[in-house]
Structure 1
Amino acid sequence: MENLALENPEAFSNALLESAKETVNQAEELRIKEKLETILPIVSVSYLAKTYFGKSPQWFYQRLNGNIVNGKEARFSGQELNIISKALNDIGDKLKESSLHIA
């Protein structure tokens, strides 16, 4: 690393920046998994994957766990994260409405 920094400071800076971006992405993935950790035992991943994405539960878990798929790490895109957020709100609304009919 020290040799690269001395021989080619621009390449070193670019490599360092890419490494930092990758670290941020990995930390964000861990945060997403942690954020969903409390609701995953309650909400069916199969239902989420099929209803809101038209995909399999394996597809969802691959992204949640950052599995290697086709040679690269599977991740939720920004749009997919928005879909998850809206799906959880939708499910919450359905639960609230159902609880009103019981009481």
Structure 2
Amino acid sequence: MKKLRFDEKYAYLEHEDGTIGRLVIARSPRLARATKEELENYRFMVDGIHWPAVDEDIPFDAFDNEETEAVVDLGAIPEYVSMSYLAQRFFGRSRSWLHNKLKGNFANGKPIAFTPQEMADLKKALEILSSEIKDVATQLPC
């Protein structure tokens, strides 16, 4: 029988063979907002776990593939570039859309990931911003 336990940051799934997978709780906004009691109120399904109080389903394989906390790491860029501006200008989307893509958060029980085209668009967006900043910097009087 599978077992599930939690700490402040992770949910740990112990499989019948003794292997343990982990999931960053923050990757699921619904689980991240859940109380301890709501987290501990779950049931195993055929292919995953269901939390009725927060209406969240997470597949078992999401625990086994948890390698990093951030799917896309932009380093310090979010500290000095508005993610709202980046999302709106280059994708026509909201800041939360971009945040969820960068973090690989879950929606409908599946991780949200950039498509190959979106990843290419993100790369191009950062190159454009870099070029624009460089152009302004070179025009400043010394």
Bin of the TM-score, shorter chain as denominator length: 0.5 to 0.7
Aligned length: 81
More strand per residue: 1 or 2?
A: 2
Runs (4 or more) in structure 1 with deviation over 6 Å come to: none
What residue number does 2:139 align with?
A: 101
CA distance in 1, matches of 2:69, 2:115: 11
For residue 83 of structure 2, the aligned residue among 45, 49, 52 is: 45
The two structures, once aligned, show a CA RMSD in angstroms of 2.2
More helix per residue: 1 or 2?
A: 1
- CA contact 1:29–1:64 (8 Å) conserved in 2: no
CA distance in 1, matches of 2:119, 2:112: 13
CA distance in 1, matches of 2:70, 2:89: 24
Structure 1 residue 32 corresponds to structure 2 residue 72: yes
Residues 62 and 31 of structure 1: is their aligned pair in 2 closer, same or farther, counting only changes over 3 Å?
A: closer
Deviation at 1:95, TM superposition (A): 0.4
Can you give the 5+ residue segments of structure 1 that lack an aligned partner in the other structure?
3-18
Q: TM-score, normalising length from structure 2?
A: 0.49
Can you give the 5+ residue segments of structure 2 that lack an aligned partner in the other structure?
1-15, 18-60
Deviation at 1:31, TM superposition (A): 5.4
Q: TM-score, normalising length from structure 1?
A: 0.66
Structure 1 residue 63 corresponds to structure 2 residue 98: no
